[in-house]
Structure formats: structure tokens, C-alpha cells
Amino acid sequence: MCQITSNPYSDPRVIVLTNADFRTGSLHLTSYARPGKLFTANQTLIVAEVGHLTDEAFARLVNAVIDSLRASLPP
């Protein structure tokens, strides 16, 4: 999973998510996905599904995660 928050925390890698980025559903506020903040979670911890990203927004997020992982590799 990738952290999504309403605060960008001065993270230079944030991906801005607005309601236009959702194929279905929405978030209450403009939000920020933080591709450098990845974590695992048990499915039982998921309380609700708020929506689905558009293909374009999902691709932006996946590419940002890949870039973040590549940036952490040694030269």
C-alpha cells in the first residue's frame, strides 16, 4: 500500500490526487500519495474502499513508486 494523506509533508515526490483522478468515488480533500511511504497491511485492517483511480492517475502513481525504488538503489 501507499500512504495517501491530506498533507504533502514537503515530500518532493508526492502525487497530487483530486476528484478528477478518480474513475469512481472520491476523496473529501485534495490528497497526496507518497510513493516513498510504502507498507503492507492485512486485508482485515481495510475499513472501506473510497474509489478507483483513473488509468492515468494509477499509472502516474505506479511510475512514481518505481522511480522512488530506483532512487534508493546504490549507484
pTM: 0.86
User: Where would I find the H helices in the chain?
Assistant: 55-71
Please give the pLDDT value at position 72: 86
- Dihedral angle of Cα 60, 63, 64, 66, to the nearest 10 degrees: 160
What cell was used for 21? 483522478
Please give the pLDDT value at position 20: 96
Give the CATH class of 2-71: mainly beta
Q: What is the pLDDT of residues 17-65, one digit of tens each?
A: 999 999 999 999 999 999 999 999 999 999 999 999 999 999 999 999 9
CB 8 within 8 A of CB 35: no
